[in-house]
Amino acid sequence: RCAACRHLRRRCPSDCIFAPYFPANNPRRFSYVHRIYGASNVAKILQDLPENVRGEAADSLHYEAYCRIKDPVYGIVGMITVLHQQICAAQRHLARVHAEI
C-alpha cells in the first residue's frame, strides 16, 4: 500500500492516484499534505493535471504543506521573504566590495 492508503486505512487499488507520488517508505510526506489540503482535494488536483507534471505538483504540495506546518502564519511566503532579504543583503555587500575595489 502507498502512504496515502495506509494513512487513510483503505485498500490501495492498482490505479491509485497517490501511489506514484506518496510511496510507503515516506509516510510523513502524505501526512503533511493531508493535514493541510485533505486527501480528496489532493486527489482532485492530481487528477486534473497531465501525468507528466503530477510529480512536480506533488513535490510542490508537499513542500508548501511542510512550510505551512512549520510556520502556520506565513508558510512558504515567510521562507521566500527570508531568502529575498538574504539576497538583498548579499547584493549590498557585493556593491560595497566593488566600491572598495
- Interval 20-56: pLDDT, tens: 999 889 889 999 999 999 999 999 999 999 999 999 9
Residues near 39 by beta carbon (within 8 Å), at least 6 away in sequence: 4, 8, 18
pLDDT at 89: 98
Q: How far apart are CA 4 and CA 40, in angstroms?
A: 11
Q: What is the pTM of this model?
A: 0.77
The confidence band for 15, taking pLDDT boundaries of 50, 70 and 90, is confident
Smallest Cα–Cα separation from 77: which of 87, 68, 69, 89? Answer: 68
Q: Which residue in 44, 15, 12, 14 sits closest to 27, CA to CA?
A: 12
Which percentage of the chain shows pLDDT scores above 70?
100
